[in-house]
Structure 1
Amino acid sequence: MAEKLMCAVQYDSYGGGAAGLKQVEVPVPTPSKGEVLLKLEATTLNPIDWKIQKGLFRPLMPKRFPYIPATDVAGEVVEVGPGVENFKPGDKIDGGGSCSILHLFYGFSLIVVMNILDKKKQTGGGLAEYAVAKIDMTVHRPAEISAAEGASFPIAGLTAHGALTLAGLKFDGPDPGPQKNILVTAASGGVGHFAVQLAKLGNAHVTATCGVRNIDLVRSLGADEVLDYKTPAGAVLKSPSGKKYDAVIQCASAIPWSVFEPNLNSTGKVIDLTPGTSAMWTYAVKKLTLSKKQLVPFMNSVKAENLVYLAELVKQGNLKVVIDCKHALNDAEAAWAKSIDGHATGKIVVEP
């Protein structure tokens, strides 16, 4: 019997950007032991996707080509592999994951976060009609959350939540403690728009930066003060109220430490989500000199309970998912280019 084929988007080598993507037909994967096969309903792009294409992690984890990219997906379980118990095709209650290590299952739908450091699974990927996944962590998705929303918050939401936890905010008790002053840069982006909302839920006073066209949006998400990053005031990141920051959630492209330092309180820290060489040098110097002001390169530790928490917030309407645009799978190159451009408001969705 001939293999069933599916449409997918892949690249055959490092580099190339959107032009390096290819529309192909490949066999539908078969789930192995402890895996499920998903019919995908939505995937969202994260900067990590095209940064991997550019060669991020290449020395530590070289890719196997051809490679189907994408990290966050939502879909329906259509087949289970050997050893998978309590999950079945179309199961509305239980479920499994896709493409990697971290998964959320909601009734007919499944949300998944790829583990980009999983050396055993390097074949991808969400830019396809089907994907195979291991079952690691699952949560039920209420009907109130669409597939596009479900595919939007895992990596970005977990990153924002993890960074704010590192900044000292508490989300798990009735008393969040003294109010902290938090700065969120690039606050209208995929991580930033979640960070603003979660910081407010953590009882923070939030100053945010974004472009002028998104100021009203960022205010609507709860920011107490919003700076246009292109203005002189926005460039120096000074709070309009004169408050010093307990922490900065640095979601923007490289900003020198010299800009942050005068705006931090005596023990303030910058949580850098995309640290480059300069940031790593600053981190080392601050550690060696025992400085109370710190730059902290961010590494996320994923926990299932945090996914449950985020999903419940989305269900209740307490965490808004902002979607910039939706593209069909056969237009994935345009979505990829928009992600590389770096000016999306919220998340970019691709729907098979």
Structure 2
Amino acid sequence: MAAAAATKVPATMRAVQYDACGGGAEGLKHVEVPVPSVKKNELLLKLEAASINPVDWKIQKGMLRPFLPRKLPFIPVTDVAGVVVDVGPGVNGFQAGDEVVAMLNSFYGGGLAEYAVASESLTVKRPPEVSAAEGAGLPIAAGTALQALRSIGAKFDGTGQPLNVLITAASGGVGLYAVQLAKLAGLHVTATCGARNVELLKSLGANEVLDYRTPEGASLQSPSGKKYDGVVHCTVGISWSTFEPVLAPTGRVIDITPNFAAILKSGLHKVTFAKKRLVPLLLSPNKADLEFLVELLKDRKMKTLIDSRFPLSEASKAWQKSIEGHATGKIIVEMEG
């Protein structure tokens, strides 16, 4: 426990919060607040990096009310990496000094700060081969990509079928992980993106890449004529009537940002026993998936592509960049500097 004795935790910390829903980047405020304390089965982390996901500013907009934010003011962001500085009662797998990746509790957030409390159940050790920024990119984006591909039938133990998969908006945070994971599962990958990212996606292993602004890209038709066993749908504004003709007889569209209409369509497919289906996906965070993803980064079988990095003092710029929606990969906020 020498590491614990050497770690001095201050009484207060810098953080970024918002006091009301709405307001966008201008609604973020820099504050000095007490460092949170740990309860049973919790860890106190000195944060090194956090990644912003679209769900973070959607919560601020009020799109998930009345569920989130649970209370105001609210320190947003859940995907973080840092160093353990204190452990609560009941914690056995960690000690002060451990470098980790964690997904914070969505109800309480806390990622845009110098310190945060994480549950032991959603915290994993980060090996030296994985930087804080790379690890912070994983929990929501890579976790969603992994669970979406498993919903289609992808397997990562060599026993899976060589399925054909389409990944829309493949140059975004989820999409870039999805392309890499699909290739690891032995799938044939067609990806859509803007023209500037075509070569990037090919370099990550996509077999076919469609510029979504072209007629071919808008129709989602595979250049090789293949029908899709599954779609990891990472964007909005594409109707079921566009997907339906390009799907295999039992094809599934896994919608990672489902709206009310998508949920209704999914329900209709269920009650009519449709063979082609729209399936809404809500991430189910779990430690095993996060450990699997960190191991892939460690072994260089997958990488986190970082669009941009901002110090905590410029968190509002990172927030605005995410809202604008054109990032290629992850937007990272780093706590030092």
Question: By the TM > 0.5 criterion, same fold?
Answer: yes
- Any conservation in 2 of the 1:254–1:276 contact (CA below 8 Å)? no
Q: Supply the distance in 2 between the matched residues of 1:295 and 1:306 (Cα, whole angstroms).
A: 24
Q: Could you tell me the TM-score, scaled by structure 1's length?
A: 0.89
Residue of structure 2 equivalent to 1:98 = none
Question: Which one has a larger percent helix, Structure 1 or Structure 2?
Answer: 2
Structure 1 residue 138 displacement after superposition: 4.1
Partner of residue 84, structure 1: 91
1:21 aligns with 2:28: yes
Contact 2:122 2:285 in 1 (8 A): no
Identify the residue that residue 297 of structure 2 maps to in structure 1: 314
Please name the residue that 1:50 is paired with: 57
Verify: 1:63 aligned to 2:70, yes or no. Answer: yes
Equivalent residue in structure 1 for 2:158, among 171, 174, 190? 174
Q: How does 1:168-207 map to 2 (within 5 A)?
A: 168-171=153-156, 173-177=157-161, 179-207=162-190
Distance in 1 (CA, whole Å) between partners of 2:62 and 2:25 is 14
Going from structure 1 to structure 2, the CA distance change for 1:212 and 1:253 (only over 3 Å counts) comes to: same
Structure 2, unaligned runs of 5 or more: 1-9
**SS state at 1:139 partner:** strand
Tell me the secondary structure at the aligned position of residue 255 of structure 1.
Answer: coil
Q: Residues 86, 315 of structure 1: CA spacing in aligned structure 2 closer, same or farther, 3 A cutoff?
A: closer
Aligned-partner residue type, residue 147 of structure 2: G
2:228 aligned residue? 245
CA contact (8 A) 1:246 1:269 kept: yes
The answer as to 2:21 corresponding to 1:37 is no
8 Å Cα contact 2:50/2:79 also seen in 1: yes
Distance 2:153 2:88 in 1: 42
In the other structure, the counterpart of 2:127 is 142
Report the identity percentage. 57
Q: Which amino acid aligns with 1:135?
A: E
SS at match of 1:60: coil
Match of 2:140 among 140, 152, 155: 155
The Cα shift of 1:315 comes to 0.8
Describe the shift of the 1:306–1:81 C-alpha distance in structure 2 as closer, same or farther (beyond 3 A): closer
Relative to structure 1, the CA distance from residue 137 to residue 324 in structure 2 (aligned partners, 3 Å threshold; closer, same or farther) is same
Name whichever of 41-50 and 55-64 sits farther off.
Answer: 55-64
Q: Tell me which moved more, 29-38 or 273-282.
A: 29-38
Question: 1:265 aligns to what?
Answer: 248
- Tell me how far 1:37 sits from its aligned partner: 1.4
Cα distance in structure 1, aligned partners of 2:23 and 2:126:
36
Q: Distance in 1 between matches of 2:226 and 2:90?
A: 56
| 1:325/1:48 CA distance change after superposition, 3 Å | same
- AA partner of residue 243 (structure 1): K
Q: In the TM superposition, what is the alpha-carbon distance from 1:134 to its structure 2 partner?
A: 2.4
- 1:327 paired residue number: 310
1:25 aligned partner, one-letter code:
E
**SS at 2:84 equivalent:** strand
Which amino acid is 2:247 matched to? Answer: L
SS of the counterpart of 2:45?
Answer: strand
Deviation per residue, 1:172-207 (Å, 9 max, x gap): x33223x11100001010000010011111111000
Q: Partner residue of 1:74?
A: 81
**Once structures 1 and 2 are overlaid, which stretch shifts more, 259-268 or 279-288?**
279-288
Match of 1:299 among 267, 282, 304: 282
Q: How far does residue 308 in structure 1 lie from its aligned partner after superposition?
A: 1.8
User: Aligned-pair distance for 1:309?
Assistant: 1.5
CA positional deviation for 1:254: 2.5
Query: SS of the counterpart of 1:214?
Result: helix
Which runs of 5 or more structure 1 residues have no equivalent in the other structure? 91-107, 117-121
Aligned counterparts of 2:333 and 2:188: Cα–Cα separation in 1: 34
TM-aligned CA deviation for residue 137 of structure 1:
4.0
1:340 is displaced (CA, Å) by 0.8
Inter-CA distance 82–237: structure 2 relative to 1 (3 Å threshold): same
CA offset at residue 77 of structure 1? 1.0
RMSD: 1.5
Give 1:62 deviation, angstroms.
Answer: 4.9
Provide TM-score, normalisation by structure 2: 0.93
2:5 paired residue number? none
Q: Counterpart in 2 of 1:97?
A: none
Distance in 2, matches of 1:181 and 1:76, equals: 40
